[in-house]
Structure 1
Amino acid sequence: MAGKQVRLFLVDGKVGGLTTAEIMTWTGQLLKGARKDLARIRERKEAQKTGVYILLGEDDETGKTKAYVGQSDNVAKRLGTHDQNKVFWSEVVVITSKDSNLTSAHVRWLESKLIGMAKAIGRVPLENGNEPTGGADLPEADASDMEEFVRQLEILLPVLGVDVLRGRATRPAAGAPAAAQAAPTAPGGPLAVAESEPDPEVELSPVFYLVQMPDAQAQLIDGEFTVLAGSKAAAEMPERPGYKPSSAKQYKVRQAQHRDLVADGSIAILPDGTARLTRDVVFGSPSAAGAVIGGRVSLNGRINWLTEDNVTYASWESGSPR
């Protein structure tokens, strides 16, 4: 993949203030700011154009980030409305074009595209209730240009700490996955195990298998250690008295991670009592992934994740043959 020159400008001269972002030779431009700075955001020319916006905030129930994607012929005016009727958000990213060539049709198409991608990736839950239906019938040339616009957003949004489009899209498997013999279930009913959609723009590592659970597979995807959809996982992490205080504290952390993944449907329990991942799940490290997936207090993921040629993750990372 060719290098990209990204230009960030801290409007206030400090981290956490208004920030603009762009990629050289690309017509798009992004503005990110906190809700407390909404009056200033609305005064900026980027927000007074036709564009798309992403509201970001914390989910009160999970404590995790959630988002809302919208579009408007005048983003500044729409943000004023959302300041009155949407409570959850604390930050906003405004997406517009430097050359002002984005029309109402373009941003309706872009809104629909971003919502579909975000839901398919499933990394950041959306507040959007319904799929937008407008803006999908652009002329062929315009649609091609907008697809390229989205590819640049996939690069630039994570630079601003926005992971709505980061990761691989997933789709329901055609029948049960190879690793599973029955459809997962959840309190709300059946869950379809998802398969990852390949993305030629995303850099992938070899597939790694967990020594203690060979049906668990992972890859380094776009720089993040990701356990793949369909992987086997521990069905539960019960209380285990007897740990030393430091180990007991660490186990509590892993239990909480596992519990959250079960609660949001990322880990689904099969009728036979085993469990599978329904989507790709990103972990902070190979060791964290191994511990949660394996249901352990700790695990050295750098030596317990192996390629099919028995190369450890540590050896692969360092470029050593073993």
Structure 2
Amino acid sequence: MTQGRSIRLFLVDGTPNGLLTAEIMNWTGHVLTGPRSKLSELVQRSECGRTGIYFLVGPDPENSLRPLVYIGESDDVGTRLKQHNRPEEKGGKDFWEKVCLVTSKDQNLTKAHVKYLESLLIQSAGQVGRCKLVNGTAHEYINLPESDRADMAFFMEQIRTVLPVLGFDFLRDRPMPSSEPVAQEAPAEASPRFSLELPRHGIRATGQEIDGEFYVFKGSQARGSWVGTERGYQSLYNQLCEDGMLVEGSNGTRVFNEDQSFSSPSAAAAVVSGRSANGRISWKAESSGMTYGEWQDRQVSEAAMCAESMSNGMDGDRR
């Protein structure tokens, strides 16, 4: 069973869009993040004078699905951020809109530590594939004692835990969906395998909900072109085609070239259907025939009944 974690967030200036700090219980790391518009305030903080790792994040004008990310390290993060704030022609970077820096509360991070961390983080971000790295190829840095490498592996895992809480998903692991049917002994709360069919167009897609995302499996079919109104998920459909996630198939259809995650079953259903679609009724469980909405409602009802039963049991014990 996965253990819960305590993360302490602090709004430095009392506003949700200002500077924010984050710490995890029993971790020496300290995270500071904020918009570029608050850079003048951010660089005045003591954290910026320490050795650390930083992330510059901004939108990719050529791909709305993934952000642009630059991962760097420095002995003096504040000075480095000032350099990045210059115009492109003067050696700066124009793309970023948010910055996030990670330092150590006990100030035990050394230059060697952060160079090693930078190498690991660039490699990890590239493997996860949730962003486009501005860095390019990661330089492998292994000039670190074995014990320190173990410490930095733990430090990195904490970074991967806290960043998604702050809205930075580019290091969050992608679950590896199985294209095989869900095993019979799977726990009741596990998502079944769903399918969506458009018989008139010879289209069939399969998928599953995993860790809050809806995955459409590799090999699933989709409409050969967007036929709905020019809004909604049309840009998502076009982007997947441009990225090579949806490739040309037979009989005028398209095929998913690999497992693809979506933020909701409706987004997945729209891309498969080539038009707006209600994923709660379009996706049906292969094992029971229930729609996604019916399956989800049953999960909620069963959870509520279980909670009520436990509550009644506790009341009985008190009596």
- Normalising TM by the smaller chain, what interval? 0.7 to 0.9
3-state SS of 2:272 partner: helix
Structure 1 residue 168 corresponds to structure 2 residue 157: no
Larger radius of gyration: 2
**Partner AA of 2:239 in structure 1:** D
Query: CA 1:137 to 1:236, structure 2 compared with 1: closer, same or farther past 3 Å?
Result: farther
RMSD: 2.8
Among 224, 231, 253, the alignment partner of 1:236 is 224
Moved over 4 A (4+): 270-274, 307-312
Query: CA 1:48 to 1:272, structure 2 compared with 1: closer, same or farther past 3 Å?
Result: farther
Structure 1 residue 113 corresponds to structure 2 residue 120: yes
**Partner AA of 1:232 in structure 2:** S
**Partner AA of 2:30 in structure 1:** Q
Query: CA 1:290 to 1:72, structure 2 compared with 1: closer, same or farther past 3 Å?
Result: same
Identity of aligned residues (%): 38
**Partner AA of 2:10 in structure 1:** F
Counterpart residue number, 1:91: 98
Structure 1 residue 206 corresponds to structure 2 residue 212: no
**Could you tell me how far apart the structure 2 residues matched to 1:137 and 1:314 are?**
53
* CA deviations over 1:295-316 (Å, ceiling 9, x no partner): 3431433562425455543344
**Superposition map of 1:18-167 within 5 A:** 18-63=19-64, 65-84=67-86, 85-134=92-141, 136-167=142-173
Q: 8 Å contact 1:219–1:225 — kept in the other structure?
A: yes
* CA deviations over 1:2-24 (Å, ceiling 9, x no partner): 11111011110111111000111
Structure 1 residue 291 corresponds to structure 2 residue 270: yes
More helix, by proportion: 2
**Could you tell me how far apart the structure 2 residues matched to 1:121 and 1:294 are?**
27
TM-score between the two structures when normalised by the length of structure 1: 0.76
- In the alignment, structure 1 segments of 5+ residues that lack a partner are 171-176, 180-203, 241-247
* CA deviations over 1:57-105 (Å, ceiling 9, x no partner): 1223335522111111211111111111101111100011111122222
TM-score between the two structures when normalised by the length of structure 2: 0.77
**Partner AA of 1:8 in structure 2:** L
- In the alignment, structure 2 segments of 5+ residues that lack a partner are 87-91, 181-188, 198-202, 303-319
**Could you tell me how far apart the structure 2 residues matched to 1:30 and 1:314 are?**
38
Query: CA 1:141 to 1:315, structure 2 compared with 1: closer, same or farther past 3 Å?
Result: farther
Structure 1 residue 226 corresponds to structure 2 residue 215: yes
